[in-house]
Structure 1
Amino acid sequence: MSLPKKTLPPKTLGFIASTAPEAQSALEELLRLYGNTSIEDADVIVALGGDGFMLQTLHQTINTGKRIYGMNCGSVGFLMNDYHRENLRERVAEAIENELHPLKMTTTNEDGSSSVALAINEVYLFRQSYQAAKLCVEIDGHVRLEELICDGLMVATPAGSTAYNLSAHGPILPLEAPLLAMTPVSAFRPRRWRGALLPNHVRVDIHILEPEKRPVNAVADNAEVKSVLHVRVEQSTEVTARILSDPNHSWSDRILAEQFNN
Protein backbone atom coordinates (compact mmCIF):
# COMPACT_ATOMS: atom_id res chain seq x y z
CA MET A 1 0.00 0.00 0.00
CA SER A 2 1.47 3.35 -1.05
CA LEU A 3 0.70 6.58 0.80
CA PRO A 4 -2.04 8.76 -0.71
CA LYS A 5 -0.83 11.51 -3.05
CA LYS A 6 -2.22 14.30 -5.15
CA THR A 7 -3.13 13.39 -8.70
CA LEU A 8 -2.25 15.06 -11.98
CA PRO A 9 -5.15 16.98 -13.58
CA PRO A 10 -6.91 14.75 -16.12
CA LYS A 11 -6.95 15.81 -19.75
CA THR A 12 -9.54 13.23 -20.74
CA LEU A 13 -12.26 11.23 -18.96
CA GLY A 14 -13.66 7.85 -19.96
CA PHE A 15 -17.01 6.74 -18.49
CA ILE A 16 -18.20 3.23 -17.70
CA ALA A 17 -21.26 2.10 -15.73
CA SER A 18 -22.81 -0.99 -14.22
CA THR A 19 -26.05 -2.34 -15.62
CA ALA A 20 -28.07 -0.90 -12.72
CA PRO A 21 -30.73 1.57 -13.95
CA GLU A 22 -29.41 4.34 -11.68
CA ALA A 23 -25.88 3.90 -13.07
CA GLN A 24 -27.11 3.84 -16.67
CA SER A 25 -29.13 7.03 -16.11
CA ALA A 26 -26.07 8.74 -14.60
CA LEU A 27 -23.95 7.60 -17.55
CA GLU A 28 -26.32 9.22 -20.06
CA GLU A 29 -26.34 12.44 -18.05
CA LEU A 30 -22.55 12.67 -17.75
CA LEU A 31 -21.93 11.83 -21.39
CA ARG A 32 -24.14 14.76 -22.39
CA LEU A 33 -22.23 17.09 -20.11
CA TYR A 34 -18.63 15.94 -20.61
CA GLY A 35 -18.45 13.83 -23.74
CA ASN A 36 -16.42 10.64 -23.65
CA THR A 37 -12.97 9.25 -24.39
CA SER A 38 -12.31 5.57 -24.97
CA ILE A 39 -11.16 3.63 -21.93
CA GLU A 40 -7.86 2.87 -23.68
CA ASP A 41 -7.09 6.58 -24.25
CA ALA A 42 -8.63 8.21 -21.15
CA ASP A 43 -6.40 9.68 -18.44
CA VAL A 44 -8.98 8.85 -15.77
CA ILE A 45 -11.81 6.31 -15.88
CA VAL A 46 -15.01 7.36 -14.13
CA ALA A 47 -16.81 4.26 -12.85
CA LEU A 48 -20.52 4.54 -12.03
CA GLY A 49 -22.03 1.82 -9.84
CA GLY A 50 -21.43 0.19 -6.49
CA ASP A 51 -18.52 -1.46 -4.72
CA GLY A 52 -18.79 -4.65 -6.76
CA PHE A 53 -18.50 -2.68 -10.00
CA MET A 54 -15.52 -0.77 -8.64
CA LEU A 55 -13.74 -4.02 -7.77
CA GLN A 56 -14.49 -5.34 -11.25
CA THR A 57 -13.10 -2.15 -12.81
CA LEU A 58 -9.95 -2.23 -10.69
CA HIS A 59 -9.29 -5.83 -11.73
CA GLN A 60 -9.79 -4.96 -15.40
CA THR A 61 -7.39 -2.01 -15.24
CA ILE A 62 -4.80 -3.36 -12.82
CA ASN A 63 -1.20 -2.59 -13.83
CA THR A 64 -2.32 -0.43 -16.76
CA GLY A 65 -1.58 2.83 -14.95
CA LYS A 66 -5.22 3.91 -15.31
CA ARG A 67 -6.65 5.92 -12.43
CA ILE A 68 -10.22 5.06 -11.39
CA TYR A 69 -12.60 7.66 -9.96
CA GLY A 70 -15.79 6.00 -8.76
CA MET A 71 -19.17 7.61 -8.10
CA ASN A 72 -21.79 5.74 -6.15
CA CYS A 73 -24.83 4.61 -8.09
CA GLY A 74 -25.27 1.39 -6.10
CA SER A 75 -26.23 0.37 -2.58
CA VAL A 76 -23.23 0.62 -0.22
CA GLY A 77 -20.59 2.48 -2.21
CA PHE A 78 -17.82 2.34 0.40
CA LEU A 79 -15.19 2.42 -2.35
CA MET A 80 -17.00 5.18 -4.25
CA ASN A 81 -17.27 8.96 -4.07
CA ASP A 82 -20.66 10.65 -3.81
CA TYR A 83 -22.45 11.20 -7.10
CA HIS A 84 -22.56 14.81 -8.29
CA ARG A 85 -22.71 15.82 -11.92
CA GLU A 86 -21.32 19.34 -11.38
CA ASN A 87 -17.62 20.29 -11.66
CA LEU A 88 -16.52 16.73 -12.32
CA ARG A 89 -13.22 17.63 -13.98
CA GLU A 90 -12.32 19.86 -11.03
CA ARG A 91 -13.23 17.14 -8.53
CA VAL A 92 -11.10 14.57 -10.33
CA ALA A 93 -8.19 17.04 -10.51
CA GLU A 94 -8.36 17.57 -6.73
CA ALA A 95 -8.76 13.88 -5.86
CA ILE A 96 -6.26 11.93 -3.77
CA GLU A 97 -4.68 8.87 -5.36
CA ASN A 98 -4.18 5.59 -3.51
CA GLU A 99 -2.04 2.83 -5.00
CA LEU A 100 -3.17 -0.65 -3.99
CA HIS A 101 -1.01 -3.77 -4.18
CA PRO A 102 -3.33 -6.78 -4.26
CA LEU A 103 -2.86 -10.22 -2.76
CA LYS A 104 -1.79 -13.04 -5.04
CA MET A 105 -3.53 -16.35 -4.40
CA THR A 106 -1.80 -19.44 -5.78
CA THR A 107 -3.66 -22.73 -5.40
CA THR A 108 -2.85 -26.40 -5.83
CA ASN A 109 -6.03 -28.24 -6.70
CA GLU A 110 -7.43 -31.72 -6.24
CA ASP A 111 -7.43 -32.43 -10.00
CA GLY A 112 -3.68 -31.74 -10.21
CA SER A 113 -4.05 -28.26 -11.68
CA SER A 114 -2.92 -24.96 -10.20
CA SER A 115 -4.24 -21.43 -10.53
CA VAL A 116 -3.30 -17.84 -9.75
CA ALA A 117 -5.70 -14.98 -8.97
CA LEU A 118 -5.45 -11.49 -7.48
CA ALA A 119 -7.47 -10.07 -4.58
CA ILE A 120 -7.87 -6.39 -3.78
CA ASN A 121 -10.15 -7.16 -0.81
CA GLU A 122 -9.44 -10.67 0.49
CA VAL A 123 -8.56 -14.27 -0.13
CA TYR A 124 -11.14 -16.54 1.49
CA LEU A 125 -11.21 -20.30 2.05
CA PHE A 126 -14.53 -21.91 2.96
CA ARG A 127 -15.98 -25.34 3.51
CA GLN A 128 -17.65 -26.99 0.52
CA SER A 129 -19.95 -29.35 2.42
CA TYR A 130 -21.64 -29.84 5.78
CA GLN A 131 -18.27 -30.83 7.28
CA ALA A 132 -16.20 -28.05 8.81
CA ALA A 133 -12.89 -27.30 7.10
CA LYS A 134 -9.71 -28.55 8.76
CA LEU A 135 -6.68 -26.39 7.96
CA CYS A 136 -2.99 -26.10 8.81
CA VAL A 137 -1.60 -22.53 8.71
CA GLU A 138 2.04 -21.64 8.01
CA ILE A 139 3.54 -18.15 8.11
CA ASP A 140 6.87 -17.80 6.29
CA GLY A 141 7.45 -21.54 6.55
CA HIS A 142 6.67 -21.81 10.28
CA VAL A 143 3.55 -23.70 11.36
CA ARG A 144 1.45 -21.38 13.51
CA LEU A 145 -1.74 -23.44 13.66
CA GLU A 146 -1.31 -27.19 13.29
CA GLU A 147 -5.05 -27.68 13.09
CA LEU A 148 -7.76 -25.07 12.65
CA ILE A 149 -11.33 -26.38 12.39
CA CYS A 150 -13.67 -23.71 11.06
CA ASP A 151 -16.25 -22.76 8.45
CA GLY A 152 -13.72 -20.52 6.71
CA LEU A 153 -10.54 -18.47 6.90
CA MET A 154 -9.66 -15.22 5.14
CA VAL A 155 -6.66 -13.00 4.63
CA ALA A 156 -7.76 -9.39 4.07
CA THR A 157 -5.97 -6.25 2.93
CA PRO A 158 -6.57 -2.87 4.60
CA ALA A 159 -8.77 -1.99 1.62
CA GLY A 160 -10.83 -5.12 2.23
CA SER A 161 -10.81 -5.00 6.01
CA THR A 162 -14.18 -3.20 6.13
CA ALA A 163 -15.84 -5.74 3.81
CA TYR A 164 -16.37 -9.44 4.58
CA ASN A 165 -13.54 -9.29 7.13
CA LEU A 166 -15.50 -6.83 9.26
CA SER A 167 -18.67 -8.92 8.99
CA ALA A 168 -16.67 -11.86 10.37
CA HIS A 169 -15.60 -9.66 13.34
CA GLY A 170 -12.12 -9.07 11.97
CA PRO A 171 -10.21 -5.83 12.70
CA ILE A 172 -10.46 -2.69 10.60
CA LEU A 173 -7.03 -1.72 9.25
CA PRO A 174 -6.07 1.86 8.33
CA LEU A 175 -5.40 2.11 4.62
CA GLU A 176 -1.73 3.00 5.15
CA ALA A 177 -1.08 0.18 7.64
CA PRO A 178 1.53 -2.37 6.38
CA LEU A 179 -0.64 -5.19 7.72
CA LEU A 180 -2.96 -8.00 6.70
CA ALA A 181 -5.85 -9.36 8.77
CA MET A 182 -6.21 -13.14 9.12
CA THR A 183 -9.74 -13.80 10.31
CA PRO A 184 -11.55 -17.11 10.91
CA VAL A 185 -15.23 -17.72 10.29
CA SER A 186 -16.90 -19.73 13.06
CA ALA A 187 -13.72 -21.24 14.48
CA PHE A 188 -14.51 -24.46 16.37
CA ARG A 189 -10.95 -25.45 17.33
CA PRO A 190 -9.09 -23.57 18.74
CA ARG A 191 -12.38 -22.17 19.97
CA ARG A 192 -10.92 -18.99 21.42
CA TRP A 193 -8.75 -18.09 18.41
CA ARG A 194 -10.04 -14.87 16.88
CA GLY A 195 -7.44 -14.29 14.19
CA ALA A 196 -4.13 -12.48 13.79
CA LEU A 197 -2.55 -9.33 12.39
CA LEU A 198 0.27 -10.10 9.96
CA PRO A 199 2.97 -7.94 8.34
CA ASN A 200 2.07 -7.47 4.69
CA HIS A 201 5.37 -8.94 3.50
CA VAL A 202 4.80 -12.45 4.89
CA ARG A 203 3.98 -15.57 2.90
CA VAL A 204 0.93 -17.45 4.12
CA ASP A 205 0.51 -21.15 3.28
CA ILE A 206 -2.74 -22.88 4.11
CA HIS A 207 -2.86 -26.67 3.80
CA ILE A 208 -6.21 -28.42 3.62
CA LEU A 209 -6.33 -31.44 5.91
CA GLU A 210 -8.62 -34.37 5.08
CA PRO A 211 -9.60 -32.84 1.70
CA GLU A 212 -11.70 -35.85 0.61
CA LYS A 213 -13.82 -35.72 3.75
CA ARG A 214 -13.73 -31.94 4.18
CA PRO A 215 -13.43 -30.30 0.72
CA VAL A 216 -12.58 -26.61 0.60
CA ASN A 217 -12.99 -23.88 -2.03
CA ALA A 218 -10.87 -20.71 -2.28
CA VAL A 219 -11.86 -17.26 -3.54
CA ALA A 220 -9.77 -14.21 -4.47
CA ASP A 221 -12.36 -11.40 -4.57
CA ASN A 222 -14.74 -12.90 -7.17
CA ALA A 223 -12.48 -15.61 -8.66
CA GLU A 224 -13.38 -19.00 -7.13
CA VAL A 225 -11.39 -22.23 -7.27
CA LYS A 226 -13.06 -25.47 -6.16
CA SER A 227 -11.51 -28.34 -4.20
CA VAL A 228 -8.14 -26.87 -3.31
CA LEU A 229 -5.41 -28.79 -1.49
CA HIS A 230 -3.06 -25.90 -0.74
CA VAL A 231 -3.33 -22.12 -0.96
CA ARG A 232 -0.46 -19.63 -0.84
CA VAL A 233 -1.21 -15.95 -0.18
CA GLU A 234 1.32 -13.14 -0.54
CA GLN A 235 1.20 -9.49 -1.48
CA SER A 236 1.97 -8.84 -5.14
CA THR A 237 4.17 -5.75 -4.90
CA GLU A 238 4.81 -5.67 -8.65
CA VAL A 239 1.08 -5.22 -9.40
CA THR A 240 -0.72 -1.91 -8.79
CA ALA A 241 -4.29 -0.65 -8.91
CA ARG A 242 -4.93 3.10 -8.68
CA ILE A 243 -8.07 4.55 -7.09
CA LEU A 244 -9.05 8.20 -6.55
CA SER A 245 -11.01 9.65 -3.64
CA ASP A 246 -12.33 13.13 -2.86
CA PRO A 247 -10.02 14.92 -0.37
CA ASN A 248 -12.93 15.87 1.91
CA HIS A 249 -14.02 12.22 2.11
CA SER A 250 -10.84 10.23 1.50
CA TRP A 251 -10.69 6.48 1.65
CA SER A 252 -8.40 6.72 4.69
CA ASP A 253 -10.96 8.90 6.45
CA ARG A 254 -13.76 6.46 5.62
CA ILE A 255 -11.85 3.52 7.09
CA LEU A 256 -10.99 5.53 10.21
CA ALA A 257 -14.60 6.65 10.65
CA GLU A 258 -15.85 3.07 10.27
CA GLN A 259 -14.08 2.18 13.53
CA PHE A 260 -16.32 4.57 15.45
CA ASN A 261 -19.64 3.56 13.89
CA ASN A 262 -22.16 1.67 16.00
Structure 2
Amino acid sequence: MSQPRIAFLASPAPAAQQALSELVAEHGNHLPEDADVICPLGGDGFMLQTLHRHGALGRPVYGMKLGTVGFLMNHHRGEGLLERLATAEPATLRPLEMRVLTESGATTGSLAYNEVSLLRQTRQAAHLSIDLNGRTRVEELIGDGVLVATPAGSTAYNFSAHGPILPLGSHTIALTPIAPFRPRRWRGAILKADTEVCFKVLDPYKRPVSVTADSHETRNVLEVTIHESRDRTVSLLFDPEHNLEERILSEQFTV
Protein backbone atom coordinates (compact mmCIF):
# COMPACT_ATOMS: atom_id res chain seq x y z
CA MET A 1 0.00 0.00 0.00
CA SER A 2 1.39 3.39 -0.98
CA GLN A 3 2.01 6.06 1.60
CA PRO A 4 -0.97 8.40 2.03
CA ARG A 5 -0.56 11.98 0.97
CA ILE A 6 -0.75 14.07 4.13
CA ALA A 7 -1.54 17.76 4.49
CA PHE A 8 0.09 19.00 7.69
CA LEU A 9 -1.31 22.21 9.15
CA ALA A 10 -0.09 23.83 12.37
CA SER A 11 -1.21 26.52 14.77
CA PRO A 12 1.21 29.40 15.45
CA ALA A 13 2.24 27.84 18.81
CA PRO A 14 6.00 27.13 18.91
CA ALA A 15 5.47 23.45 19.80
CA ALA A 16 3.10 23.00 16.86
CA GLN A 17 5.50 24.73 14.47
CA GLN A 18 8.38 22.53 15.67
CA ALA A 19 6.29 19.38 15.17
CA LEU A 20 5.30 20.62 11.71
CA SER A 21 8.94 20.94 10.65
CA GLU A 22 9.79 17.46 11.91
CA LEU A 23 6.76 15.74 10.34
CA VAL A 24 7.16 17.48 6.98
CA ALA A 25 10.85 16.49 6.90
CA GLU A 26 9.84 12.85 7.36
CA HIS A 27 6.63 12.60 5.35
CA GLY A 28 6.57 15.57 3.01
CA ASN A 29 3.56 17.85 2.74
CA HIS A 30 0.62 18.34 0.38
CA LEU A 31 -2.06 20.93 -0.11
CA PRO A 32 -5.33 19.92 1.61
CA GLU A 33 -7.13 19.59 -1.73
CA ASP A 34 -4.45 17.17 -2.98
CA ALA A 35 -4.13 15.12 0.21
CA ASP A 36 -5.63 11.80 1.32
CA VAL A 37 -5.74 12.94 4.95
CA ILE A 38 -5.44 16.28 6.73
CA CYS A 39 -3.36 16.42 9.91
CA PRO A 40 -3.82 19.58 12.01
CA LEU A 41 -1.33 20.19 14.82
CA GLY A 42 -2.60 22.30 17.71
CA GLY A 43 -5.56 22.43 20.07
CA ASP A 44 -9.30 22.13 19.64
CA GLY A 45 -9.56 25.73 18.45
CA PHE A 46 -7.18 25.01 15.60
CA MET A 47 -9.04 21.77 14.81
CA LEU A 48 -12.32 23.70 14.47
CA GLN A 49 -10.56 26.29 12.31
CA THR A 50 -9.30 23.47 10.08
CA LEU A 51 -12.77 21.95 9.77
CA HIS A 52 -14.28 25.30 8.82
CA ARG A 53 -11.61 25.96 6.20
CA HIS A 54 -11.28 22.49 4.69
CA GLY A 55 -14.26 20.40 5.82
CA ALA A 56 -15.99 20.78 2.46
CA LEU A 57 -13.14 18.81 0.82
CA GLY A 58 -14.41 15.61 2.43
CA ARG A 59 -10.94 14.49 3.54
CA PRO A 60 -10.56 12.55 6.81
CA VAL A 61 -8.88 14.58 9.55
CA TYR A 62 -6.36 13.19 12.05
CA GLY A 63 -5.36 15.83 14.59
CA MET A 64 -2.53 15.76 17.11
CA LYS A 65 -2.66 17.74 20.34
CA LEU A 66 -0.09 20.53 20.54
CA GLY A 67 -2.28 23.11 22.25
CA THR A 68 -4.12 23.86 25.48
CA VAL A 69 -7.23 21.73 24.94
CA GLY A 70 -7.24 18.68 22.68
CA PHE A 71 -10.53 16.85 23.12
CA LEU A 72 -10.86 16.44 19.34
CA MET A 73 -7.18 15.52 18.91
CA ASN A 74 -4.94 12.48 19.32
CA HIS A 75 -1.83 12.48 21.51
CA HIS A 76 1.19 13.88 19.75
CA ARG A 77 3.99 11.45 18.95
CA GLY A 78 6.57 12.08 16.28
CA GLU A 79 7.07 8.43 15.35
CA GLY A 80 4.74 5.79 13.94
CA LEU A 81 2.35 8.17 12.22
CA LEU A 82 1.72 5.94 9.18
CA GLU A 83 0.90 2.96 11.41
CA ARG A 84 -1.43 5.12 13.49
CA LEU A 85 -3.24 6.37 10.41
CA ALA A 86 -3.67 2.80 9.16
CA THR A 87 -5.39 1.69 12.38
CA ALA A 88 -7.28 4.89 13.20
CA GLU A 89 -11.03 4.68 13.75
CA PRO A 90 -13.37 7.24 12.13
CA ALA A 91 -15.94 9.34 13.96
CA THR A 92 -18.46 11.08 11.70
CA LEU A 93 -19.49 14.58 12.74
CA ARG A 94 -22.43 16.47 11.27
CA PRO A 95 -22.29 20.23 11.95
CA LEU A 96 -25.10 22.63 12.70
CA GLU A 97 -26.16 25.12 10.05
CA MET A 98 -26.99 28.59 11.32
CA ARG A 99 -28.92 31.34 9.53
CA VAL A 100 -28.99 34.82 11.08
CA LEU A 101 -31.08 37.93 10.46
CA THR A 102 -29.46 41.11 11.83
CA GLU A 103 -30.81 44.54 12.73
CA SER A 104 -29.38 45.94 9.49
CA GLY A 105 -31.55 43.53 7.50
CA ALA A 106 -28.60 41.40 6.41
CA THR A 107 -28.81 37.61 6.40
CA THR A 108 -25.69 35.58 7.12
CA GLY A 109 -24.94 31.91 7.65
CA SER A 110 -22.29 29.71 9.21
CA LEU A 111 -21.54 26.15 10.31
CA ALA A 112 -20.85 24.99 13.87
CA TYR A 113 -19.16 21.70 14.73
CA ASN A 114 -19.36 22.38 18.49
CA GLU A 115 -22.16 24.80 19.25
CA VAL A 116 -24.13 27.91 18.34
CA SER A 117 -24.47 30.29 21.30
CA LEU A 118 -26.53 33.45 21.73
CA LEU A 119 -25.22 35.89 24.35
CA ARG A 120 -26.28 39.27 25.68
CA GLN A 121 -24.06 42.09 24.40
CA THR A 122 -24.53 44.49 27.33
CA ARG A 123 -25.28 44.42 31.05
CA GLN A 124 -28.96 43.94 30.19
CA ALA A 125 -30.21 40.35 30.25
CA ALA A 126 -31.29 38.89 26.93
CA HIS A 127 -34.99 38.29 26.29
CA LEU A 128 -35.53 35.46 23.78
CA SER A 129 -38.32 33.25 22.50
CA ILE A 130 -37.67 29.68 21.35
CA ASP A 131 -39.54 27.93 18.53
CA LEU A 132 -39.07 24.25 17.66
CA ASN A 133 -40.22 23.21 14.18
CA GLY A 134 -42.37 26.34 13.99
CA ARG A 135 -44.05 25.93 17.39
CA THR A 136 -43.24 28.27 20.27
CA ARG A 137 -41.98 26.26 23.25
CA VAL A 138 -40.54 29.08 25.39
CA GLU A 139 -42.34 32.41 25.06
CA GLU A 140 -39.72 34.38 26.98
CA LEU A 141 -36.33 33.20 28.20
CA ILE A 142 -34.57 35.80 30.34
CA GLY A 143 -30.89 35.28 31.05
CA ASP A 144 -27.38 35.57 29.69
CA GLY A 145 -28.28 33.54 26.60
CA VAL A 146 -28.82 30.08 25.20
CA LEU A 147 -26.93 27.57 23.08
CA VAL A 148 -27.43 24.56 20.83
CA ALA A 149 -24.67 21.92 20.90
CA THR A 150 -23.78 18.87 18.83
CA PRO A 151 -22.77 15.61 20.55
CA ALA A 152 -19.10 16.36 19.79
CA GLY A 153 -19.49 19.82 21.31
CA SER A 154 -21.67 18.78 24.24
CA THR A 155 -18.64 18.32 26.53
CA ALA A 156 -17.42 21.87 25.91
CA TYR A 157 -19.30 25.15 26.55
CA ASN A 158 -22.60 23.23 26.76
CA PHE A 159 -21.36 21.12 29.68
CA SER A 160 -19.95 24.13 31.53
CA ALA A 161 -23.45 25.69 31.24
CA HIS A 162 -24.85 22.54 32.93
CA GLY A 163 -26.10 21.02 29.70
CA PRO A 164 -26.16 17.26 29.06
CA ILE A 165 -23.35 15.24 27.51
CA LEU A 166 -24.71 13.56 24.37
CA PRO A 167 -23.41 10.22 23.08
CA LEU A 168 -21.75 10.34 19.68
CA GLY A 169 -24.11 8.94 17.05
CA SER A 170 -27.19 9.56 19.22
CA HIS A 171 -28.78 11.79 16.53
CA THR A 172 -29.58 14.40 19.16
CA ILE A 173 -28.67 18.02 19.92
CA ALA A 174 -28.66 19.86 23.25
CA LEU A 175 -30.65 23.05 23.89
CA THR A 176 -29.18 24.68 26.99
CA PRO A 177 -29.92 28.04 28.64
CA ILE A 178 -27.01 30.13 29.90
CA ALA A 179 -27.54 31.53 33.41
CA PRO A 180 -31.35 31.61 33.05
CA PHE A 181 -33.39 33.89 35.33
CA ARG A 182 -36.79 33.02 33.88
CA PRO A 183 -38.18 30.40 33.51
CA ARG A 184 -36.33 29.76 36.75
CA ARG A 185 -36.50 25.95 36.74
CA TRP A 186 -36.04 25.33 33.02
CA ARG A 187 -32.77 23.49 32.42
CA GLY A 188 -33.02 23.02 28.65
CA ALA A 189 -33.89 20.03 26.46
CA ILE A 190 -32.45 17.18 24.42
CA LEU A 191 -33.84 17.35 20.89
CA LYS A 192 -33.88 15.10 17.85
CA ALA A 193 -31.09 16.16 15.52
CA ASP A 194 -33.46 17.12 12.69
CA THR A 195 -35.30 19.67 14.87
CA GLU A 196 -35.26 23.23 13.54
CA VAL A 197 -34.61 25.66 16.39
CA CYS A 198 -35.49 29.34 15.98
CA PHE A 199 -34.52 32.03 18.48
CA LYS A 200 -36.12 35.49 18.29
CA VAL A 201 -34.68 38.45 20.17
CA LEU A 202 -37.65 40.12 21.87
CA ASP A 203 -36.08 43.49 22.70
CA PRO A 204 -33.12 43.83 20.33
CA TYR A 205 -32.49 47.56 20.71
CA LYS A 206 -32.57 47.80 24.50
CA ARG A 207 -31.19 44.28 25.01
CA PRO A 208 -28.88 43.51 22.05
CA VAL A 209 -27.74 39.93 21.45
CA SER A 210 -24.83 38.40 19.53
CA VAL A 211 -24.54 34.86 18.16
CA THR A 212 -21.41 32.76 17.77
CA ALA A 213 -21.07 29.62 15.63
CA ASP A 214 -17.90 28.01 17.03
CA SER A 215 -15.66 31.11 16.73
CA HIS A 216 -17.61 33.09 14.08
CA GLU A 217 -19.52 35.93 15.79
CA THR A 218 -22.39 38.04 14.44
CA ARG A 219 -23.64 40.97 16.53
CA ASN A 220 -27.00 42.72 16.86
CA VAL A 221 -29.13 39.79 15.76
CA LEU A 222 -32.90 39.69 15.44
CA GLU A 223 -33.48 36.02 14.65
CA VAL A 224 -31.34 32.87 14.53
CA THR A 225 -32.41 29.59 12.94
CA ILE A 226 -30.41 26.40 13.52
CA HIS A 227 -30.68 22.85 12.24
CA GLU A 228 -28.32 19.94 11.74
CA SER A 229 -26.72 19.96 8.29
CA ARG A 230 -28.39 17.52 5.91
CA ASP A 231 -25.49 17.19 3.45
CA ARG A 232 -22.26 18.13 5.25
CA THR A 233 -20.25 15.65 7.29
CA VAL A 234 -16.63 15.37 8.33
CA SER A 235 -14.71 12.27 9.41
CA LEU A 236 -12.30 12.64 12.33
CA LEU A 237 -9.76 9.84 12.84
CA PHE A 238 -8.76 8.63 16.32
CA ASP A 239 -6.34 6.09 17.74
CA PRO A 240 -8.37 3.00 18.81
CA GLU A 241 -7.36 3.34 22.46
CA HIS A 242 -8.40 6.99 22.51
CA ASN A 243 -11.49 7.15 20.29
CA LEU A 244 -13.97 10.00 20.53
CA GLU A 245 -16.98 7.88 21.52
CA GLU A 246 -15.14 6.48 24.54
CA ARG A 247 -13.82 9.92 25.44
CA ILE A 248 -17.33 11.42 25.46
CA LEU A 249 -18.62 8.50 27.55
CA SER A 250 -15.77 8.90 30.04
CA GLU A 251 -16.58 12.58 30.52
CA GLN A 252 -19.83 11.54 32.21
CA PHE A 253 -17.90 9.71 34.92
CA THR A 254 -15.22 12.34 35.50
CA VAL A 255 -15.40 14.05 38.88
Contact 1:9 1:92 in 2 (8 A): no
Partner letter of residue 71 of structure 1?
A: M
Partner of 1:229: 222
Partner of 2:91: 98
Q: Which segments of 5 or more consecutive residues in structure 2 lack a partner in the other structure?
A: none
**Taking every aligned residue pair, what percent have the same amino acid on both sides?**
52
1:135 aligns with 2:128: yes
Which whole-Å deviations, capped at 9, do the CAs of 1:43-91 have from their partners, x for residues lacking one? 0111110000000001111221111100000112111000111110110
1:220 aligns with 2:213: yes
> Once superposed, what is the RMSD of the aligned Cα atoms?
1.3
Partner letter of residue 183 of structure 1?
A: T
Distance across 1 between alignment mates of 2:54 and 2:212:
20
Partner of 1:244: 237
Distance across 1 between alignment mates of 2:2 and 2:96:
29
Q: CA deviation at 1:259?
A: 0.6
Which whole-Å deviations, capped at 9, do the CAs of 1:186-210 have from their partners, x for residues lacking one? 1000111111100001111111101
Which whole-Å deviations, capped at 9, do the CAs of 1:112-135 have from their partners, x for residues lacking one? 111111000001000011110001
Partner of 2:21: 28
Which whole-Å deviations, capped at 9, do the CAs of 1:212-243 have from their partners, x for residues lacking one? 11111111111111111111000112112221
Q: CA deviation at 1:10?
A: 5.9
Counterpart selection for 2:146 from 129, 135, 153 = 153
Distance across 2 between alignment mates of 1:213 and 1:62:
38
1:206 aligns with 2:199: yes
Match runs of 1:68-147 below 5 Å: 68-147=61-140
Q: CA 1:10–1:246 in 2, change beyond 3 Å: closer, same or farther?
A: farther
Distance across 2 between alignment mates of 1:173 and 1:18:
28
Distance across 2 between alignment mates of 1:210 and 1:130:
14
What is the TM-score normalised by the length of structure 1? 0.95
Partner letter of residue 180 of structure 2?
A: A
SS of the equivalent of 1:68 reads: coil
Partner of 2:52: 59
Which whole-Å deviations, capped at 9, do the CAs of 1:14-45 have from their partners, x for residues lacking one? 21100000101111111222222222211011
Partner letter of residue 29 of structure 2?
A: N
Distance across 2 between alignment mates of 1:62 and 1:201:
21
SS of the equivalent of 1:187 reads: strand
Counterpart selection for 1:185 from 178, 196, 219 = 178
Q: CA deviation at 1:9?
A: 8.3
Contact 2:33 2:57 in 1 (8 A): no
Task: Answer with 60-69 or 128-137: which moved more.
Answer: 60-69
For these two proteins, the number of residue pairs brought into alignment is 255
